[in-house]
């Protein structure tokens, strides 16, 4: 499905019912700026600077649909109490000319009970690498979570978001249902791929129903989990076809890796084990030294590292796709668009240089200065920032 020539990355483009001023999206990366689960001035400034810097849309992450759906109790929860702050946030993004997106999801087995004060949900009971046990979701749980997604979507739309991104990646709850390694159920929610995809599909339809047709709805889908026995590319393509046929999505953003089992598969580059260890209580550091190398595996960075797998999805699908993964150069943006991807999403590059897109458009820059050290990853516990530069307040 390659195009004859790449569209202009800086020209306006349609994403479902909305129009973005260009084809570059700030990907959802947890900002570490919501210790009380509501919007703060720091979070507003984080996205205001990215919007001012020229992106077509800035995606707020991570917005949980319920308190037990946060990873550690410190993410925004999409309740009516959060709505006034969210409106201030979307107003700030809109004032800079960008659209506002909200990533919505439920952490499932990735959630830490110590932080959420709730047991972690998963398709099947399991023991996580952090040595806590999850609870297998009941029918009552699934009904409640599905409604939580719908209610969260209503709150986000009321707060002024232009787009909602449903999190189907990284072995969060919906992704864990897709994984044959994590989903061992023998009821209608497990077993065959169609059964494993049933709950994520129902959630997406619920989100679309709640959001209406005036808001873009996308999903962030794992192409593969990056773990033995997890979701692989062939099955994920079939899931993507199901989502395309359902007609509830305006685009898919393609990702990979498991926050539960293999987080570096998503990031690639240097592994900041020492920095992660320093964020932990002293009592846990010895254990982390023993398991850290096995948990944080090493994957050399390469530009556009998800592009080979993403091309397989592009060949199999007609729906709009968003390319993600190690995009640092204008050349890579143009290559992805020439290959038929409608949008590209960037994260770490914009963390260090929020104004990168504006400078690319003016010709002042052709690539990011990010060196993929990944030392930004441990900063999520005190406000996400590039560790090579002074953090902003």
- The answer to whether the Cα torsion of 71, 73, 74, 78 is positive or negative is positive
Token pair of 17 as six digits: 């019912």
User: How, if at all, do strands 321-323 and 343-346 pair?
Assistant: parallel
- Which tens digit of pLDDT belongs to each residue from 131-173? 789 999 999 999 999 999 999 999 999 999 999 999 999 999 9
Kindly indicate the confidence band of residue 224, based on its pLDDT and cuts at 50, 70 and 90: very high
The residue extents of the domains of the chain are 13-381
Please state the rounded mean pLDDT for residues 58-67: 96
Residues facing 333 on adjacent strands:
none
Query: How many other C-beta atoms lie within 10 A of the C-beta of residue 359?
Result: 15
Res. 391: pLDDT tops 60: no
**Superfamily name and number for 13-381:** Aldolase class I (3.20.20.70)
Angle among Cα 340, 346, 349 to the nearest 5 degrees reads 135
Chain centre distance of CA 157? 18
360: exposed, middle or buried (C-beta count within 10 Å: 0-12, 13-18, 19+)?
buried
Helices of type H across the chain: 41-52, 83-95, 113-116, 139-158, 173-178, 193-211, 233-246, 264-267, 273-278, 282-295, 307-316, 330-338, 348-352, 356-362
Which of the 8 DSSP states describes residue 258? B
Supply the mean pLDDT for the chain: 93
- Which tens digit of pLDDT belongs to each residue from 258-276? 999 998 899 999 988 777 7
pLDDT value of residue 16: 98
- Which tens digit of pLDDT belongs to each residue from 84-114? 999 999 999 999 999 999 999 999 999 999 8
Please state the rounded mean pLDDT for residues 284-308: 79
pTM over 0.85: yes
User: Which residues have a catalytic role annotated?
Assistant: 172
pLDDT value of residue 393: 38
**How far is 195 from 190, CA to CA, in rounded Å?**
5
pLDDT value of residue 152: 98
Query: How many other C-beta atoms lie within 10 A of the C-beta of residue 288?
Result: 18
**How far is 29 from 168, CA to CA, in rounded Å?**
15
Q: Tell me the residue length of the chain.
A: 393
- Which tens digit of pLDDT belongs to each residue from 163-180? 999 999 999 999 999 999
Q: Tell me which residue of 296, 293, 298, 291 sits closest to 131, measured CA to CA.
A: 291
User: Could you write out the DSSP letters of every residue in 52-95?
Assistant: HTT-SEEEEEEEESSGGGSSSS-SEE-SGGGHHHHHHHHHHHHH
Res. 130: pLDDT tops 90: no
pLDDT value of residue 278: 74
């Amino acid at each position: 499905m390659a195009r004859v020539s790449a569209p202009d990355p800086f020209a306006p483009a349609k994403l479902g019912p909305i129009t973005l001023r260009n084809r570059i999206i700030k990907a959802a990366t947890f900002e570490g700026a919501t210790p009380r689960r509501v919007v703060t001035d720091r979070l507003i400034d984080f996205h205001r600077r990215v919007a001012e810097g020229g992106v077509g849309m800035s995606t707020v992450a991570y917005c949980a649909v319920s308190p037990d759906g946060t990873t550690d109790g410190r993410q925004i929860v999409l309740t009516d109490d959060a709505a006034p702050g969210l409106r201030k946030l979307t107003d700030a993004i809109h004032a800079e000319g960008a659209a506002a997106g909200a990533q919505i999801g439920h952490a499932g087995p990735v959630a830490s009970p110590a932080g959420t004060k709730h047991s972690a949900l998963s398709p099947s009971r399991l023991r996580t690498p952090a040595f806590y046990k999850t609870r297998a979701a009941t029918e009552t749980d699934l009904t409640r979570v599905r409604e939580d997604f719908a209610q969260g979507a209503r709150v986000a739309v009321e707060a002024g978001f232009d787009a909602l991104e449903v999190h189907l990646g990284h072995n969060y709850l919906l992704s864990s249902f897709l994984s044959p390694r994590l989903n061992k159920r023998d009821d209608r929610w497990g077993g065959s791929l169609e059964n494993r995809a049933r709950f994520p599909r129902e959630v997406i339809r619920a989100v679309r129903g709640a959001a209406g047709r005036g808001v873009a709805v996308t999903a962030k889908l794992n192409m593969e989990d990056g773990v033995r026995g997890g979701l692989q590319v062939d099955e994920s393509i079939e899931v993507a076809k199901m989502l395309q046929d359902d007609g509830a999505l305006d685009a898919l953003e393609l990702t990979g890796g498991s926050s539960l089992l293999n987080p570096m598969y998503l990031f690639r580059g240097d592994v900041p084990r020492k920095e992660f260890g320093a964020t932990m209580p002293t009592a846990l550091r010895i254990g982390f030294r023993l398991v850290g190398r096995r948990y944080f595996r090493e994957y050399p960075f390469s530009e556009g590292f998800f592009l080979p797998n993403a091309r397989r999805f592009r060949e199999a699908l007609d729906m709009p796709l968003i390319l993600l993964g190690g995009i640092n150069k204008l050349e890579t943006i143009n290559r992805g668009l020439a290959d038929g991807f409608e949008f590209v999403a960037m994260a770490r590059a914009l963390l260090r240089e929020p104004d990168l897109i504006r400078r690319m458009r003016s010709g002042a820059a052709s690539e990011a200065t990010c060196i993929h050290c990944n030392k930004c990853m441990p900063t999520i516990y005190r406000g996400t920032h590039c560790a090579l530069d002074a953090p902003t307040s």
